[in-house]
C-alpha cells in the first residue's frame, strides 16, 4: 500500500521532527553539561529525511513570514523605521 501525505501533513511531520531534534539536543547538552550543538541545514535535512533544497525553501518562507509580521507589528505600533 502506498501512503501519500497532504502538504499540511508533510509540514506537520517536518515541524514535529525538527522540534524533536531540538529537544533531543537540548536534553543531551544539559545532561553532558555542554554547549548546544549548532546544526547545518544539511544535517537537519538528513535528520528529517528531506532534501536540503526543501528545508532551505521552508526556512526562506518562514523568514519572509516573520519579516512581514514584524513589519506589520512595527506599523501597528507607530514605528515606521524611518
Cell (9 digits) for 23: 529537544
CA distance 53 to 51: 5
The pLDDT of residue 81? 56
Q: What does pLDDT average to over the chain?
A: 87
The pLDDT of residue 2? 78
Percent of the chain scored above 70 by pLDDT? 91
The tens digit of pLDDT for each residue in 33-65 reads 999 999 999 999 999 888 999 889 988 988 999
Annotate 11-47 with DSSP letters as a single string.
Answer: HHHHHHHHHHHHHHHHHHHHHHT-PPPPPPHHHHHHH
Lowest mean pLDDT among 13-17, 26-30, 74-78: 74-78
Q: What is the pTM of this model?
A: 0.66
pLDDT at 78 exceeding the cut of 70 = no
Amino acid at each position: 500500500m502506498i501512503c501519500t501525505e497532504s502538504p499540511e501533513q508533510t509540514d506537520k511531520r517536518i515541524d514535529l521532527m525538527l522540534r524533536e531534534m531540538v529537544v533531543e539536543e537540548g536534553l543531551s547538552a544539559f545532561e553532558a553539561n555542554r554547549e548546544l550543538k549548532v546544526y547545518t541545514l544539511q544535517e537537519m535535512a538528513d535528520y528529517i529525511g528531506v532534501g536540503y533544497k526543501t528545508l532551505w525553501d521552508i526556512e526562506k518562507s518562514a523568514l519572509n513570514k516573520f519579516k512581514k509580521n514584524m513589519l506589520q507589528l512595527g506599523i501597528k505600533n507607530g514605528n515606521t523605521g524611518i
